[in-house]
């Protein structure tokens, strides 16, 4: 039972950590727009590393 609770606590902590990192990234992106280009969370690939499979190649870097 302790192992189950520990596993749940670890997964919950990882989930919250991921959310925190995403919010910190959004805060940094909004605070420092001069350091662009930033990853767009809404559409496209992060930096067009997969240009061959990218549907919106016109918007690539």
- Is 2 or 53 the better-scoring residue by pLDDT? 2
Give the whole-angstrom CA distance, residue 15 versus residue 59: 31
25-41 per-position pLDDT tens digit = 889 988 988 887 766 66
- Residue 48 is classified by DSSP as S
pLDDT of residue 51: 56
pLDDT of residue 29: 86
Radius of gyration of the CA atoms of the chain, in A: 17
Q: What percent of the chain has pLDDT over 70?
A: 61
pTM of the model: 0.57
């Amino acid at each position: 039972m302790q192992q189950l609770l520990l596993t749940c606590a670890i997964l919950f902590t990882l989930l919250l950590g991921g959310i925190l990192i995403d919010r910190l990234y959004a805060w940094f992106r909004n605070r420092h727009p001069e350091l662009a280009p930033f990853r767009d969370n809404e559409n496209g690939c992060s930096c067009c590393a997969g240009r061959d499979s990218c549907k919106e190649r016109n918007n690539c870097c």
